């Protein structure tokens, strides 16, 4: 158990180091993106044995993680820009949505992947956000006590 | 003004769907209705999510400008909010792609 926790810690540290090198300077944002990457990778590995469903899940998780990465990278920079950040954010959102649409089209129509797996993979971002909120909330409760 | 716009858009929707509902039969009616539904659905989802993301970022920028020390906390909350909003748009995109290209009511894919 301790060995697994130590290994998880090492993986998390290496993911966070890689994110720091790519411009994620704020610790909380870095931890959040690292949590999403690790959750997506871990669940994809866990469901890998299910065959096509697992592949669809991995594809969905990859799409969600790439979108989340791009969003977090831009948002941490945009918040300190005095003007034009909202317009740039909306433009980026539409460009990302278009690219995601093309990828989803190929996955759903051309490759015919299982839809429930794809949707479950896309939900990993929501799971990350809920997990982050739960950890923060429990941390606050412990501090208050 | 808002009431007038609502009445106008409802009337427009009724006129747009009436021809499809009464003129077409069977699969053709389903295709017409789902084409309209997916076009309107994606337009509404993209517009709503775009406006929401812009408003969220604007509010976060204003908050950081007023209190620069809270910038770090605001960024995390902002990213989580933006991710939630964006995932809604992606879900709408998936549903609309299914409706357009893999419609389950006209022999398309089924949820596995």
Question: For B10-27, how does the pLDDT look when each residue is reduced to its tens digit (9 = 90+)?
Answer: 777 776 666 555 555 666
What is the mean pLDDT of the segment spanning A1-13? 80
CB contact under 8 A, A90 and B53: yes
Read off φ and ψ for residue A63, nearest 5 degrees: -60, -45
What are the angstrom distances between the C-alpha of A90 and each of A81, B62, B87, B103?
15, 17, 15, 30
The verdict on residue B34 lying in a domain is yes
Task: Parse chain A into domains and list their residue ranges.
Answer: 2-144
Residues of chain B in contact with residue A64, where contact means CB-CB under 8 angstroms, are 87, 90
The verdict on residue B99 lying in a domain is yes
Number of domains observed in the structure of chain B: 1
Give every CB contact of residue A96 below 8 A, 6+ residues apart in sequence. Answer: A67, A70, A71, B86
The verdict on residue B43 lying in a domain is yes
User: What tokens were used for B91?
Assistant: 């879900």
Report percent pLDDT > 70 for chain B: 82
Q: What is the pTM of this model?
A: 0.77
A127 touching B, CB under 8 A?
Answer: no
> Shortest CA distance to A106 belongs to which of B31, B38, B102?
B102
Question: For B85-94, how does the pLDDT look when each residue is reduced to its tens digit (9 = 90+)?
Answer: 888 888 888 8
The tens place of each residue's pLDDT in chain B, 112 residues long, gives: 778 778 877 777 776 666 555 555 666 777 788 888 888 988 999 899 989 988 988 888 888 888 888 877 788 888 888 888 888 888 888 888 888 887 776 765 555 5
CA A140 to chain centre: 24
Question: For A83-105, how does the pLDDT look when each residue is reduced to its tens digit (9 = 90+)?
Answer: 677 777 778 888 888 898 899 88
Q: For chain A, what is the radius of gyration of the CA atoms?
A: 17
Q: Which residue has the tokens 């993911």?
A: A15
The verdict on residue B90 lying in a domain is yes
B93 touching A, CB under 8 A?
Answer: yes
> How would residue A133 be classed by pLDDT, with cut points 50, 70 and 90?
confident
User: What tokens were used for A74?
Assistant: 């831009």
The verdict on residue B110 lying in a domain is no
For residue B98, the enclosing domain spans 2-104
Query: Alpha-carbon distance B100 to B31, whole Å?
Result: 8
The verdict on residue B112 lying in a domain is no
CATH code at position B78: 1.20.20.10
What are the angstrom distances between the C-alpha of A137 and each of A105, B61, B73?
38, 25, 14
Nearest CB neighbour to B89, from listed A28, A76, A97? A97
């Amino acid at each position: 158990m301790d060995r697994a926790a130590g290994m998880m810690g090492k993986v998390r540290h290496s993911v966070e180091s890689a994110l720091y090198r790519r411009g994620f300077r704020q610790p909380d944002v870095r931890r959040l993106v690292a949590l999403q990457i690790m959750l997506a990778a871990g669940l994809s590995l866990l469901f890998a044995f299910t065959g096509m469903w697992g592949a669809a899940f991995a594809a969905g998780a990859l799409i969600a993680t790439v979108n989340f990465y791009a969003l977090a990278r831009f948002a941490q920079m945009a918040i300190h820009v005095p003007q034009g950040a909202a317009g740039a954010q909306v433009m980026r959102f539409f460009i990302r949505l278009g690219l995601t649409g093309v990828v989803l089209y190929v996955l759903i129509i051309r490759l015919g992947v299982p839809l429930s797996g794809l949707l479950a993979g896309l939900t990993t971002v929501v799971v990350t956000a809920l997990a982050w909120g739960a950890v923060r909330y429990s941390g606050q409760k412990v501090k208050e006590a | 003004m808002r009431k007038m716009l609502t009445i106008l858009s409802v009337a427009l929707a009724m006129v747009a769907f009436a021809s499809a509902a009464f003129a077409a039969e069977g699969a053709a009616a389903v295709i017409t209705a789902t084409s309209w539904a997916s076009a309107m659905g994606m337009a509404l989802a993209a517009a709503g999510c775009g406006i929401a993301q812009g408003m969220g970022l604007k509010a976060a920028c204003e908050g950081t400008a007023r209190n620069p020390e809270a910038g770090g906390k605001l960024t995390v909350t902002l990213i989580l909010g933006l991710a939630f909003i964006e995932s809604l748009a992606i879900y709408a995109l998936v549903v609309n792609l299914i409706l357009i290209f893999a419609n389950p009511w006209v022999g398309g894919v089924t949820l596995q």
